[in-house]
Amino acid sequence: MIEKENIRLLLVENLPDYAPESISQIRPIQRNSFHIQHMYRPTFLRWIPYDDDKGNNEIQKYKEILDANDIFIPELIGSIPTPGGVLGLWEWLRGTDLREANRQSIPHAFAMLGKYHKKKRKLSSLESDITRKEYKSIPDLLDAEVEYLWTFSDESLKNDCRRLLAVLENGFPTLNHGDVHPGNMVFSEGEIYFVDWGYSHFGFNFSDLSYIWDNNIYSDCPDGWWMIQGDEAENSIAAYLESIGLSKLPAREIMLAVMLRNQLYSYSNAIANGLEEEAIECENLLKNLAQAG
């Protein structure tokens, strides 16, 4: 972890208007991230080592494509390169995320996300969250994801999964946030801001719905505070589809396909990390979701 005094000196030299008067104004939040409690210009600071792919991707996306005119995001004030990494400085958002407070705003957040996806729609190759490779079309991507993960002996389950995923071919390539859960939505000064763009990439739009789970389709939701369930899920899907101009699509089929693909993603992580029990749980959940279809 970078020392507080080094942070202060780097800010004094490079961004003096935002430099704290003393290291006591540099408050750790978690590893490598800090709240700079400047009297007039409080900021969020993150130390990003050069081997931190997620952190460096966020800095790159801010410099190349992210724009506060497209969606509410905290302003990147500056980035300071050093021999060991980059010091990123963002405006401090006064507010709380949507994990507990203001959860009624989650569907509105997905409406905002849909409008953003439309703005960033792009005719280009798109990256799979699962294979980490690029494909020329959404059908090619979905074909590859199913084939890439398939180690099950049940060939009919494989075919069912691909059939149920077909409705997602109505989507389009866009810039994904990559990690859209309530902890990355912050209610600040009457607006919802999207934070933590470290996983952002050009993928397909429905990938950003992966934390939504409709309990009416299948009640056994994966555990985690990051999941969006119940009425929040139904309202979020409806708000999102309307915002991208696809409200006539069958919402239940879209939801089921999103839930199914979420489990394919979880299965890939379990296999990659040698987590056999988790992989078996994902396989069983895939079978149950396929039956629900």
- Residue 24's contacts (CB-CB under 8 Å, 6 or more residues apart) are none
| pLDDT (0 to 100) of residue 176 | 96
Tokens of 282: 């994902």
Reduced to 3 states (helix: H, G, I; strand: E, B; else coil), residue 23 is helix
Q: Which of 50, 57, 6, 43 lies closest to 176 in space, CA to CA?
A: 57
Please report which confidence band the pLDDT of residue 93 belongs to, taking 50, 70 and 90 as the band edges.
very high
**Distance (Å, rounded) from C-alpha 109 to C-alpha 117?**
12
| pLDDT (0 to 100) of residue 292 | 83
| pLDDT (0 to 100) of residue 220 | 85
Confidence check: pLDDT of 240 > 90: yes
Q: Which of 108, 95, 92 lies closest to 187 in space, CA to CA?
A: 95
Number of Cβ within a 10 Å radius of residue 23: 14
Confidence check: pLDDT of 259 > 80: yes
Confidence check: pLDDT of 293 > 80: no
Radius of gyration of the chain (CA): 21
| pLDDT (0 to 100) of residue 80 | 97
Q: What is the mean pLDDT of residues 169-181?
A: 96
Q: In order of start, what are the domains of the chain with their CATH numbers?
A: 4-92 (3.30.200.20), 97-292 (3.90.1200.10)
% of residues, the chain, pLDDT over 70: 98
Q: What is the mean pLDDT of residues 162-168?
A: 95
Which H or E run contains 270?
Answer: helix 251-272
Confidence check: pLDDT of 258 > 90: yes
Long-range Cβ pairs for the range 187-191 (8 Å, 24+): 187/95, 187/96, 187/97, 187/98, 187/101, 187/102, 187/105, 188/93, 188/94, 188/95, 189/94, 189/95, 191/72
H helices present in 150-250, as ranges: 155-165, 230-243
Q: What is the mean pLDDT of residues 172-199?
A: 96
Q: Where are the strands (E) in the chain, listed by range?
A: 26-30, 33-36, 43-49, 76-81, 85-91, 95-97, 126-127, 134-135, 173-176, 185-188, 191-194, 201-204, 212-213, 228-229
Please report which confidence band the pLDDT of residue 3 belongs to, taking 50, 70 and 90 as the band edges.
confident
| pLDDT (0 to 100) of residue 125 | 84
Q: What is the mean pLDDT of residues 207-232?
A: 90
**Structure-model confidence comparison of residues 222 and 169, the more confident one:** 169
Confidence check: pLDDT of 248 > 70: yes
Q: What is the mean pLDDT of residues 85-114?
A: 95
Half-sphere exposure of 222 (CA within 13 A, CB side): 25
To the nearest 10°, report the CA torsion of 192, 194, 195, 197.
Answer: 180
| pLDDT (0 to 100) of residue 152 | 60
- Using alpha carbons, list the distances in angstroms from residue 153 to 58, 63, 122, 150, 157: 39, 46, 38, 9, 9
| pLDDT (0 to 100) of residue 274 | 86
Average per-residue pLDDT for the chain: 92
**Distance (Å, rounded) from C-alpha 131 to C-alpha 141?**
9
| pLDDT (0 to 100) of residue 1 | 67
Q: At what angle do helices 251-272 and 276-292 cross, to 10 degrees?
A: 160
| pLDDT (0 to 100) of residue 89 | 97
Please report which confidence band the pLDDT of residue 286 belongs to, taking 50, 70 and 90 as the band edges.
confident
Q: What is the mean pLDDT of residues 205-217?
A: 94
Confidence check: pLDDT of 162 > 80: yes
**Distance (Å, rounded) from C-alpha 18 to C-alpha 261?**
43
Q: What is the mean pLDDT of residues 138-155?
A: 82
- Residue 173's contacts (CB-CB under 8 Å, 6 or more residues apart) are 121, 122, 123, 124, 125, 126, 138, 202, 203, 204, 205
Range name among 72-81, 85-94, 180-189, 277-286 with the lowest pLDDT average: 277-286
Half-sphere exposure of 255 (CA within 13 A, CB side): 25
Please report which confidence band the pLDDT of residue 243 belongs to, taking 50, 70 and 90 as the band edges.
very high
